[in-house]
């Protein structure tokens, strides 16, 4: 296949402007306003045609494009040699001057060209060989800021070879200091696309404000709204907003343009564009609206101020250190009338790279701050959190699916002033009157039920010396959460954990999120615990997949007391706390059975059953689990209570393999075990199990057949699990020589009495 060049019949040049995925149509509209021809949105970019000067103009003025590629030609890419020959045949003397340096970047691939670095090398060799044959001089390669920056895109059997007209990404506006940034910054092209989609440019552009004034029969420009970014970081959004409001070309501060090194560069045309841009910016500065950026981080504000200064916008934007909850104070400080139009845009923390441990607190602050704004205000937000609306109490009027780097996100457009939040008056157990913000009147019913159960459970726990217990367990269908209370042993301070049950598919996830948020607010208020002692586990449907997770993966360990024993729990580091509250009675039973006996704990988790056995005087204990993390946890529990002797064994092993491979008659150094606690998971496909999966209903009889080999005659297996539909294969179990006693009912604690199927428990005794 011969290479094809891309000069159009009308003399126009083919270009392709890349952009963040999701912004293709927004960019297409912008390119049309920049007066280029034949604009066509494609995946991750927009094709268009124009002159060299049009290409310069797009590079200088496009706020949304990431790169502008001038297409040189398309060549055969069915093999490395075909790519080389096709690239070599293109007219490189038209683009590279006699002493030009080059660089080549390749993207994509096919079966023949899998390595992009290799593909780039073949094209580089082809271009250098072609120019050397034509001029007897081989051009130098300059990876950084070359005269001719080439971009190779390989798809199926073709490679498109282009000049990177700007030479490097257009998001580099020229005002940042290399190496100086905040965590999780928003790229400039993405920020600009967000603002254009949200309508800020239509409200703030000097040309549009002038046209609007003319339509209204007024001289000059109509005023633009106030702009605020309350999580401004290094000021990306507020500076992009300021550039739109002052008619500043985004590329005005750049000191490098790839096209300036091209052989056909038209310096006079580009100088004319720069002079026009300077004039427009100078005029636009006279009509700038009030633009404010605030951030809770003083270092971010310091970086933002430097960026504003280098962009020539220090006199336009106001940058202050403040929390988003302080938005009302910020409005007062700048004497802003909230009944007049305003525009707020921000990039909230995602819980992915920053502020994961305080994401809920941020949402509360945001809801509080935004409540100060009237319906005259618009808001635009980028977030991967599909439940963002519910968290802040407003409903988006429209959304757009986009990508922030590799992260799926949505742009969300709001009209403020219509928050669903309302105040709910409560009375705490000690008679204190308090008020809490909720998003539904139904929260009053939950508050009444929770207060009643909290009062009842506290009395019950105090009477029986219980220090970790469940207060509420989805008592009301609309509030499907579990609330657990933990009393720290040494301080008697209360900690609260609220866990969300997965809502049925027919339940609107926004509604479920609002109810969960309301439940957390009510629980925290009635339990009278500060934010740092309130923990949540919530199913949040983030873009890129939902998962049941904590708001933080940072451990928060405390020690609680159970039956006089010190037990470590972790309220935030893992899916479970390390202490199954519904097995409280079961563990006490296990301890009493193990007195003076040899005890085996399989699927031991954090070893609390072993702790009970040791405390009751077990002769020997063996604790088996596949996780070293949990074994270490179990060992800490034992050591904390003084059980450190050699009679206590800890074995890291896949239990299914361990019981199968362990020789019968040598379950311990002394022989068989007298008591076995067997509490396997309901299902497992752990990587450490290889190709096997575990299903308790399907596999329990086979497992018990192996476990019974390790049990002494007359010995006992306490077999428990959490599958609510579980049915014991009594025929198979009896055939193993085991007597069956269903003790489930007597092992359900009072705080789980509403849910008697929370677990099952059988006492299996081996016939003598």
Q: Per residue in 162-172, pLDDT tens?
A: 999 999 999 99
Verify that 747 and 700 share a domain, yes or no: yes
CATH of the domain at 510: 3.30.750.80
For 379-433, what is each residue's pLDDT tens digit?
Answer: 999 999 877 888 888 889 999 999 998 889 999 999 998 777 788 899 989 889 9
Contacts with 191 (C-beta within 8 Å, 6 or more apart), sequence order: 236, 237, 240, 347
| Residue whose tokens read 């506006």 | 173
Residue 2 has what DSSP assignment? Answer: -
- Kindly give the interhelix angle for 298-310 and 236-245, rounded to the nearest 10 degrees: 30
For 498-553, what is each residue's pLDDT tens digit?
Answer: 999 877 777 777 778 888 889 999 999 999 999 899 998 875 444 433 333 344 45
Reported residue count of the chain is 768
Domain closes at, from 528, 550, 572: 550
In a domain, 171, yes or no: no
pLDDT at 670 over 80: no
In a domain, 266, yes or no: no
Residue 12 has what DSSP assignment? Answer: P
Verify that 364 and 429 share a domain, yes or no: no
In a domain, 112, yes or no: yes
Model confidence at 9, pLDDT cuts 50, 70, 90, reads low
Rounded to an integer, what distance in angstroms lies between the CA atom of residue 458 and that of residue 461? 5
Contacts with 245 (C-beta within 8 Å, 6 or more apart), sequence order: 204, 205, 206, 224, 227, 284, 287, 288, 289, 291, 316
Domain count, the chain: 4
CATH of the domain at 18: 3.30.2130.30
Taking the CA atoms of residue 48, residue 52, residue 56 and residue 61 in that order, the dihedral angle to the nearest 10 degrees is: -40
In a domain, 238, yes or no: yes
Verify that 356 and 381 share a domain, yes or no: yes
- Taking a C-beta distance cutoff of 8 angstroms, is the pair 485, 523 a contact? no
Put the strands of the sheet holding 738-742 in their side by side order.
648-652, 620-625, 598-602, 673-678, 711-721, 760-766, 738-742
Instruction: Report the pLDDT value the prediction gives residue 5, as an integer from 0 to 100.
Output: 60
Verify that 448 and 354 share a domain, yes or no: no
Domain closes at, from 415, 433, 455: 415
Based on its alpha-carbon atoms, the radius of gyration of the chain, rounded to whole angstroms, reads: 34
In a domain, 334, yes or no: yes
Helix (H) or strand (E) holding 237: helix 236-245
The β-bridge partners of 677 are 601, 718
Helix (H) or strand (E) holding 470: strand 468-473
Verify that 746 and 762 share a domain, yes or no: yes
In a domain, 566, yes or no: no
Contacts with 610 (C-beta within 8 Å, 6 or more apart), sequence order: 599, 601, 604, 621, 623, 634, 637, 638, 648
Verify that 489 and 462 share a domain, yes or no: yes
Verify that 214 and 67 share a domain, yes or no: no
End-to-end Cα spacing for the chain: 85
User: The domain containing residue 439 runs over which residues?
Assistant: 422-550
Alpha helices in 408-507, H assignment, sequence order: 443-464
In a domain, 513, yes or no: yes
**Among 237, 231, 382, CA closest to 317:** 237
Mean pLDDT score, 464-489: 95
649: helix, coil or strand?
strand
Verify that 208 and 297 share a domain, yes or no: yes
Rounded to an integer, what distance in angstroms lies between the CA atom of residue 579 and that of residue 623? 16
Minimum mean pLDDT range among 14-23, 178-187, 747-756: 178-187
In a domain, 173, yes or no: no
Phi and psi angles of residue 549, each rounded to the nearest 5 degrees, phi first: -150, 165
Q: What is the pTM of this model?
A: 0.70
Instruction: Report the pLDDT value the prediction gives residue 688, as an integer from 0 to 100.
Output: 53
Rounded to an integer, what distance in angstroms lies between the CA atom of residue 672 and that of residue 600? 10
**Among 415, 381, 420, 416, CA closest to 399:** 381
Instruction: Report the pLDDT value the prediction gives residue 693, as an integer from 0 to 100.
Output: 87
Verify that 92 and 13 share a domain, yes or no: yes
Verify that 342 and 320 share a domain, yes or no: yes
Verify that 483 and 375 share a domain, yes or no: no
Minimum mean pLDDT range among 265-279, 351-365, 487-501, 606-620: 351-365
Mean pLDDT score, 575-599: 96
Instruction: Report the pLDDT value the prediction gives residue 289, as an integer from 0 to 100.
Output: 96
Minimum mean pLDDT range among 419-423, 751-755, 759-763: 419-423
Residue ranges with strand state E in 657-750: 673-678, 683-684, 694-695, 711-721, 738-742
Model confidence at 98, pLDDT cuts 50, 70, 90, reads confident
CATH of the domain at 293: 3.40.50.150
Instruction: Report the pLDDT value the prediction gives residue 390, as an integer from 0 to 100.
Output: 80
Q: Write the CA distances from 147 to 103, 264, 481, integer angstroms.
A: 8, 12, 62
pLDDT at 262 over 80: yes
Verify that 500 and 610 share a domain, yes or no: no
């Amino acid at each position: 296949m011969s290479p094809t060049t891309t000069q159009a019949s009308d003399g126009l040049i083919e270009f392709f402007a890349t952009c963040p995925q999701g912004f293709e149509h927004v960019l297409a509209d912008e390119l049309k306003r920049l007066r280029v021809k034949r604009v066509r949105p494609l995946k991750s970019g927009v094709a268009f045609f124009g002159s060299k000067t049009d290409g310069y103009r797009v590079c200088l003025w496009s706020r949304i494009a990431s790169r502008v590629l001038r297409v040189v030609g398309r060549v055969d890419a069915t093999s490395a040699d075909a790519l080389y020959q096709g690239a070599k045949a293109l007219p490189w003397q038209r683009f590279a001057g006699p002493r030009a340096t080059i660089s080549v970047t390749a993207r994509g691939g096919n079966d023949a060209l899998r390595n992009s670095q290799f593909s780039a090398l073949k094209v580089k060799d082809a271009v250098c060989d072609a120019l050397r044959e034509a001029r007897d001089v081989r051009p130098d390669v300059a990876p950084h800021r070359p005269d001719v920056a080439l971009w190779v895109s390989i798809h199926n059997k073709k490679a498109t070879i282009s000049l990177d007209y700007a030479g490097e990404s257009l998001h580099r506006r020229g005002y940042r200091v290399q190496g100086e940034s905040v965590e999780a910054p928003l790229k400039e092209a993405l920020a600009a696309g967000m603002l254009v989609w949200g309508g800020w440019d239509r409200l703030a552009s000097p040309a549009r404000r002038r046209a609007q004034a003319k339509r209204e029969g007024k001289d000059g420009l109509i005023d633009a709204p106030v702009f605020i970014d309350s999580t401004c970081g290094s000021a990306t959004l507020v500076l992009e907003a300021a550039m739109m409001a002052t008619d500043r070309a985004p590329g005005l501060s750049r000191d490098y343009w790839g096209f300036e090194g091209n052989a056909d560069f038209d310096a006079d045309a580009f100088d004319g564009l720069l002079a026009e841009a300077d004039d427009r910016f100078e005029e636009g500065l006279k009509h700038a609206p009030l633009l404010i950026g605030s951030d809770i981080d003083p270092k971010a504000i310091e970086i933002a101020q430097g960026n504003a200064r280098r962009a020539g916008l220090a006199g336009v934007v106001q940058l202050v250190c403040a929390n988003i909850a302080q938005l009302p104070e910020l409005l007062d400080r700048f004497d802003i009338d909230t009944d007049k139009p305003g525009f707020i845009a921000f990039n909230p923390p995602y819980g992915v790279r920053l502020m994961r441990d305080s994401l809920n607190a941020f949402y509360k602050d945001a809801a509080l701050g935004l409540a100060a704004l009237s319906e005259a205000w618009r808001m635009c937000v980028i977030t991967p959190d599909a439940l963002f609306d519910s968290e802040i109490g407003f409903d988006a009027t429209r959304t757009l699916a986009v990508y922030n780097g590799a992260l799926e996100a949505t742009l969300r457009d709001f009209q403020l002033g219509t928050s669903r939040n309302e105040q709910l008056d409560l009375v705490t157990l000690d008679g204190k009157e308090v008020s809490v913000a909720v998003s539904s009147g139904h929260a009053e019913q939950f508050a009444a039920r929770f207060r009643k159960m909290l009062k009842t459970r506290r009395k019950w726990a105090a009477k029986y010396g219980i220090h970790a217990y469940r207060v509420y367990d989805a008592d009301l269908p609309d509030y499907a959460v579990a609330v657990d209370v933990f009393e720290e042993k040494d301080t008697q301070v209360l900690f609260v954990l609220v866990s969300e049950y997965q809502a049925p598919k027919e339940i609107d996830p926004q509604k479920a999120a609002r109810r969960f948020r309301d439940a957390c607010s009510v629980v925290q208020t009635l339990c009278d615990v500060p934010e740092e002692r309130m923990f949540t586990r919530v199913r949040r449907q983030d873009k890129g997949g939902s998962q049941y997770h904590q708001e933080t993966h940072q451990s928060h360990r405390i020690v609680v007391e159970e039956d006089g024993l010190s037990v470590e729990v972790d309220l935030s580091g893992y899916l479970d706390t390390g202490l199954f509250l519904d097995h409280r009675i079961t563990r006490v039973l296990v301890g009493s059975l193990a007195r003076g006996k040899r005890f085996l704990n399989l699927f031991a988790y954090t070893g609390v059953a072993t702790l009970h056995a040791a405390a009751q005087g077990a002769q020997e204990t063996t604790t088996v689990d596949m996780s070293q993390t949990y074994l270490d946890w179990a060992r800490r529990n034992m050591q904390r209570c003084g059980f450190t002797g050699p009679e206590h064994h800890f074995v890291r092993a896949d239990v299914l393999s361990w019981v199968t491979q362990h020789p019968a008659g040598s379950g311990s150094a002394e022989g068989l075990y007298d008591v076995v606690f067997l509490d396997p998971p309901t299902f497992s496909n752990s990587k450490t199990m290889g190709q096997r999966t575990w299903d308790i209903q399907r596999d329990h009889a086979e497992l018990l057949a192996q476990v019974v080999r390790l049990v002494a005659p007359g010995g006992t297996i306490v077999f428990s699990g959490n599958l609510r539909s579980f049915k014991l294969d009594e025929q198979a179990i009896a055939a193993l020589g085991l007597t069956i006693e269903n003790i489930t009912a007597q092992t359900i604690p009072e705080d789980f009495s509403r849910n008697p199927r929370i677990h099952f428990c059988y006492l299996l005794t081996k016939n003598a």
